A and B are shown apart, each in its own frame.
Chain A
């Protein structure tokens, strides 16, 4: 969803050039008059905002499902986020929302200088928001609290040192290292299938007539079939502390929180970037004095889009930062 195409989506809703008095030169030929074009554009942008809500909806679904099913990850991992930065960002976005709304008012009342200033303030706030996001992201990268396998923080959120079970990177996705599936190595002693260990040698395995796959590969009667399932259940039920000092280490798959964090804030950041490009384009046009009471469509639609971006952050902030 590149910003330019979205920006483009806006442009032609009220495109056209020229500066006629009764009929602004920007009114395209196939519209009856300015109002017709404005209303069409307004409906178009509202449909676009509806589409954006659904575009973000899948991320909110992922958030809610993973939080509902694994609250311990969210309790643990959200402490890595800096609430102060988040609050500043919210304030910045709300301020930019105000200046965008004010820009629309200025355009409607033909106050060209105020219009330009409002757009400049909106742009500055947007760039400020992106700056703060950049700071937060670099902090995350520095602390190695990234998504998926790359979540390997050296210290817990409250600063205590996390004891690394062993240096191998593969083992760090939280929790005790998962031992290799015992299926193909018997007790870690021998790699290739134990001939006859758990059943007839390959030659005389009960070959299904006509199925070439059976004899070629490792005989299906490999090792430890029955051992796998009860072993897991035995641990869960026997109450044996799977790992004596699990509490200090982050809960398993904590990378999932940051998967959702980066997906949500990343996509929101791209939309903020799109907004910045649209506002730069609007800044240039408003400096040329294109907008006035007769023709202020682009300002209004860009402001609506911006309010939606602010709306989404209003929901993102408490969901990601304020998890008690």
Chain B
């Protein structure tokens, strides 16, 4: 697609030759039926941030309730509904579509220099599926929110009187939105790579998105069939999971976790992908161990199918299966460790600029390390017997989901914000927010490790008095983090109106999206300015240009030589 015409970048004097994708067709109707991947990405972003704030409100309600033992705000059933919806909204609505659909949709075609994704109408259809799923979840919230936990374990989910069917229906539909997004991205990466960009000249962001998409396509259907069987079981009493009719509740757990473990890798792989790009851009230095990071992404994707049993060590799974799954779980720890070591090695002898996205990236490395290491506790069989379904697990998965995937989402959002909306956010406020979120997050979830190992069970409305002090520290941390998140989103939205005009390349990125004007036109590049594939992660000929207010390539920079290996 990208013809290799070398062009010099004329600055952006006066009005640009083509209107940007935001202004090309105004009006609500044009946005609703748009096929442009950037607009769909922005619509996803709006949907996801609102569901994130909604999920956050549920989280803060749960934390306030737990400030003291006994009932403060809500009774036990409402508490159960609160944590169920917090789980369902955050997992199905925010974090699974978050990085792949919102930011992936926006960045994938531009990084490839392509005008759009492979199947634009399928892309819009996925967004409508996401909206239907969100509507169904809200319907469940309005009627009588499901109180089964986001895992919908039977036989409780088939015998409780709350509105489980809309919630399960919503998750079912959201599954298909995720499948079609994954399918779209795999075909785009296969068929729309520019000339000269082979598999090992691709930015690492695409490796992450590719392995996530593989997981989305091959794992999510099992969630679809599981939730379909759950719906039919609850309404039609077919008896496949119902112990009285011969069904087996542990079989439901096998079905559910066969999807849900690859799902946690759907959440973390795009985060790792973006982080690889972020760290190398802000270290102004080539990545260390490109092949190892690329292979570990694919390794994680394939190993994630083998390990789902470690969620079921104490749930009636046999001893043999427990042993097999525990052994396989440790193989999954290795690729993550390789990635972290390679990122730290990238920081060695670099030229690090601690701007907001980089602060989020460094926070990601530290929080993901804690998250990964606490996973080792839960992988060891007899330690997991004690720690399973305790607050230790709650802290572990919040470190990996919130601490890693959400922080990476914020980092990537700040990284691509100038490109998406052509505005620069306030750097100082962004940095302060990043640090406060890091502090707030740790105050919230570090005490929960101790709570868990001391014997506080998960999903508890009331707890023994000796755990009170830990819960109070955690609640304070939760409010600090909540407020800072709102401030950081406010900072971004404020920049839409008052922000400084963004240059094409504010951070000095070497990948192709920084050659596009920000915000890019409808087909990502001006007709006369087709993108040139420069060697990625080679920052030698990028220098800061005052007039442009951003990084510019030296005019003589030669495009990528054939078979260049970053």
Please report A residues at the B interface, Cβ cutoff 8 Å.
1, 5, 8-9, 11-13, 15, 28-30, 32, 36, 39-40, 43-44, 47-48, 50-52, 54-59, 61-62, 65-66, 70, 147-149, 173, 252-253, 255-256, 259-260, 262-263, 267
Contact = CB atoms under 8 A, between A and B. Distances in A.
Contact of A255 (B115, B129, B239): B239
Given A30-B114, A30-B115, A70-B246, A9 B237 contact: no
Given A30-B115, A147-B236, A44 B183 contact: yes
Interface of B: 1, 114-116, 118-122, 125, 129, 176, 179-180, 183-184, 186-187, 190-191, 217-222, 224-226, 228-229, 232, 236-240, 242, 245-248, 251, 254-255, 258, 523
Nearest to A260: B240
A228 to B, nearest CB: 16
Nearest to A15: B121
B246 A252 contact: yes
11 contacts: A1-B224, A13-B119, A30-B116, A40-B119, A43-B191, A54-B218, A62-B229, A148-B236, A148-B238, A256-B240, A259-B240
Given A40-B118, A259-B239, A48 B246 contact: no
Given A1-B176, A255-B246, A263-B232, A29 B115 contact: yes
B176 A5 contact: yes
Central interface residue in A52, A58, A59, by most chain B CB within 10 Å: A58
A1 B228 CA distance: 9
Given A5-B125, A9-B122, A256-B246, A147 B191 contact: no
A13 B191 contact: no
Contact of B120 (A30, A57, A61, A252): A30
A281 to B, nearest CB: 14
A5 B129 contact: yes
A256 B191 contact: no
**A interface, by DSSP: helix, strand, loop or mixed?**
helix
Central interface residue in B218, B219, B221, by most chain A CB within 10 Å: B221
B465 to A, nearest CB: 10
Contact of A253 (B219, B222, B239, B258): B239
A43 B189 CA distance: 11
B125 A9 contact: yes
B221 A256 contact: no
Contacts of B114: 30
A301 to B, nearest CB: 12
Contact of A32 (B1, B248, B254, B255): B1
A36 B191 contact: yes
B187 A44 contact: yes
Contacts of A252: 246
**B interface, by DSSP: helix, strand, loop or mixed?**
helix
Contacts of A66: 246
A50 B119 contact: no
Contacts of B221: 51-52, 54-55, 57
A260 B180 CA distance: 28
Contacts of A260: 240
Contact of B239 (A47, A59, A147): A147
B246 to A, nearest CB: 3
Contacts of A32: 1
B191 A39 contact: yes
Contacts of B236: 147-148
Nearest to B523: A30
Given A13-B122, A32-B1, A149-B239, A253 B191 contact: no
B121 A50 contact: no
B238 A262 contact: yes
A47 B118 contact: no
The 9 A-B residue pairs whose C-beta atoms are closest, nearest first, are: A253-B246, A12-B121, A148-B239, A55-B221, A58-B225, A54-B221, A147-B238, A259-B238, A30-B116
A8 to B, nearest CB: 6
Contacts of A43: 186-187, 190-191
A58 B248 CA distance: 14
Contacts of B217: 47, 50-51
Contacts of A9: 119, 122, 125, 180
B251 A47 contact: no
A156 to B, nearest CB: 19
A70 B119 CA distance: 46
Given A1-B176, A148-B239, A255-B246, A58 B222 contact: yes
